[in-house]
Structure 1
């Protein structure tokens, strides 16, 4: 989702927000001043007194930093987050931090332009502790400015030119729980900031996910698919209602903007997904209402439309099984394949049934499609079937009840993104956690590899891994590759040999390292501490990949220094 930052950059200069009300001025710190700071960051009042805060003006390039606090009273009590953020910004500015396409999309056609990097260097930082007045312990009574500023966060997101989800792997000082990308995705206000960015009417709505000073990627569309606006976790439960109202406003504004400006496919998708995004009850429509909402001139046009977001997709994504039945009666294609919607996470050649599973539609929608002769075993160009994209146990049950095949890699796919209950549903149907099959027609690795590879965006990754291990998944299985994966592997190794490991983005690193990689190797490579610890506790060997990189080597090369002590200890024991 969002325009490419390496392409046209007309969206880099903000205009005054016209969607969300700005009830308190946006205050920001010059990046140059932020880079000089040391230790725990000072709060808004202290920085303003020192003259380090600048009031927003249209000419300013603002970088919005969305992050999770490390304690209940201070976002960074020891200053470690400030240090990480400074290193990240320096990497963005000097080009040493490559920003890659996410590992799901795995393309190299998205990057930061030199102009954007220069604008960051001369820009201003929005960081809530700096930018929002704080309710400090010594103050008596509520801080009215603080309340107004919090209410203005959606407007601040709109006024910003660049959005960073800053998610280094750290530890919460109060709870000792991990703080990382998955926990950031779970937080209600972090989701609110994310969705205000995604739903803004800017030409560019890209989000950069910054894991460390050496690794950043553009947000995967699948990450917003799986995290609705209204289901986040809140420290103060009363905040949920406020976020729901913000979400409604943002969704309605986005729909109006797309209806006026296009593209039509995006308008139809957001209009269809509106109840789903806000977790509202879906409803069935009369034909005229359906045609009007999705901008079809007549029924036959709707039936015959073959665009990516056609009438069948509109009915499915809005959960309207009544219209779906009428379309089928008029001989609309229930096996319609998607095209031109990859930036929204719905990739070319995937079917409507696959879109229904990925978007977490009610099982009744899947059942209706299949009963209307959608092919439950149709394959996308990647070889995936709808069962691979199941997001709930009910999805699994509906598809298998309608005689869906179980490809050898189905458990690998489902373990990547779905919850443990969905994985359990497949295991209950005797799905083998160790079956990888022919690597030329599948990923060439098992479910434990998949859990590790995608663990940073899945809070239930450790639970899923424990479930798979309880069903005797092989903790020392090694990835096998052939065909296109083998060609990608050797191309990446050549590129890495020319540029060096540190100068390659994560997509290239993964491709160059994947041959012979174990689940522990993947966990070490992405830096997931809890999963690395679990695999070691369950007897994982320190197996090198075919390049000779041990898990310890991969952790070190990717700057996951927090993993080195436990990996080194195991190495001594071995």
Structure 2
């Protein structure tokens, strides 16, 4: 919801949203205003600029959510200050995409690069789209810019605030989550709006977190880039998009929305602690401090074992599929525990497995994970001083040789790898860095005399990488 309307902290008194009307209270987040949706079939008949909540309500096109409905939540960035889609272009893309799913002419692509080798993705329920419903903020939420005759201002403000505050609950109630991110121009600023800018918005990040951290069986996110292209989101895109760093039109929303993310993550961890799988529980638990902006590390050995549910030190140091002790320590940012585990026999050059659905493909080394997970430079130094080999390679799904240098997340990584004699010629690191890292990191590689014209034997080079992976990277234009 990249909107300038309806702060989460608006106040007022409304007679329209009592407990009897808020049937979407079925999950972690509180729902304080009814969830209104539009039939997909009705939406496909619409044309031009989307009409707001009050107009659709007068026309009888809004329906209150019930659990029997198949609902698609549409997250999008607004393209105007007073209207989400002043030219109607965004909605046209959505209509064409929905119609293409219904008639079978388009499917959500599941390619190896985008799913990082995870083959657990099942088919999207295209057959349910035709009879389904849409949640779109402009349709569902009473807007301050559109008033019906006789509507009390205070009631309108309150209903808007209640609905905005209920968005996380709406996300939880939906069966499918779509991010509508075509490459279009903002009508007021003239700036380009796309996947990268959508991903930069604080509210859009909150919606994304609430979907991916929900306790539903299917938490996939579909990205609609155009009426002909839709892909599943890459796991690292959300893990690097902290709510605390997001852009907010109403700055006072930041603290409120951060609390929503906190609640979603803690609920996910509690659910995984109770129901498993253990690998996912440990992963989210280790990620928690970084995702919530808290201090990392500082465990005693016994505290670490208890925190991550390792019965003994032996269990923490042995190599197995999933989140091993070393992986937990690395992702949690605790270098002291890394050193302790290595001294007690943990294999610092072990390759990971069983983490594809979390964004880490099989055969990555622990050093690669530390770099890709954006750990600080000290963690990379700790691993290399513990005999992690920076030149061990794995083969990516594209057939390219990948080393830790490929996955460097910031300039400090480049400096450490240079100091520790990483071989940048064995596998040209710019091919990886331009797609997943910052402009300053790419600059550091260039200063280290890495050649941007070098390509792999498969023909996969930096220019291809930045165009493929860089869609969610705000630094992509600067890198190019």
After superposition, the CA RMSD in angstroms is 1.9
5 Å matches for 1:24-423? 24-102=33-111, 103-105=113-115, 113=123, 116-136=125-145, 140=153, 143-382=157-396, 383-406=401-424, 407-423=426-442
Q: Is the 8 A contact 2:52 2:146 kept in 1?
A: no
Distance 1:464 1:390 in 2: 15
Change (3 A) 1:372 1:234: same
CA deviations on 1:382-407 (whole Å, 9 max, x unpaired) are: 32110110010011111111111103
Corresponding residue number in structure 1 for 2:12:
none
Q: CA deviation at 1:90?
A: 0.4
* Residues 393, 403 of structure 2: 8 Å contact kept: yes
Describe the shift of the 1:18–1:448 C-alpha distance in structure 2 as closer, same or farther (beyond 3 A).
closer
CA contact (8 A) 2:24 2:35 kept: no
What SS does the corresponding residue of 2:231 show, helix, strand or coil?
A: strand
Q: CA deviation at 1:224?
A: 1.8
Can you list the C-alpha shifts for 1:297-341, whole angstroms capped at 9, x where unaligned? Answer: 112221224232100000000001121121112121111211011
Shift of 1:78: 2.0
What number of residue pairs does the alignment pair up? 447
TM-score of the superposed pair, with normalisation by structure 2: 0.89
Q: Secondary structure at the match of 1:271?
A: helix
Q: Aligned in 2, Cα 1:19/1:375: closer, same or farther, shift over 3 Å? A: same
Give yes or no for the alignment of 1:457 onto 2:476: no
How many angstroms apart in 2 are the aligned matches of 1:83 and 1:388?
Answer: 38
The 1:17–1:182 alpha-carbon spacing in structure 2 relative to 1, beyond 3 Å, is same
Detail structure 1 runs of 4+ shifted over 3 Å in the superposition: 102-114, 137-142
Partner residue, 1:444: 459
Q: Distance in 2 between matches of 1:338 and 1:189?
A: 33
Matches within 5 A, 1:465-476: 465=480
Q: Is the 8 A contact 1:101 1:110 kept in 2?
A: no
Aligned equivalents of 1:450 and 1:299: distance in 2? 41
267-276 vs 322-331, which moves further:
322-331
The alignment's TM-score, normalised by the length of structure 1, stands at 0.75
Distance in 2, matches of 1:353 and 1:45, equals: 55
Larger RCO, structures 1/2 (Cα 8 Å, 6+ apart): 2
Mark the CA change 1:354 to 1:275 in structure 2 (over 3 Å): closer, same or farther: same
Quote the offset at 1:16 in angstroms. 5.0
Give the deviation of 1:109 after TM superposition. Answer: 5.3
User: 5+ unaligned residues in a row in structure 2: which ranges?
Assistant: 1-22
Q: Which runs of 5+ in 1 are unaligned?
A: 1-13, 466-574
Aligned counterparts of 2:231 and 2:90: Cα–Cα separation in 1: 19
Deviation at 1:140, TM superposition (A): 4.1
1:454 partner SS: helix
Aligned to 1:547: none
CA distance in 2, matches of 1:268, 1:107: 21
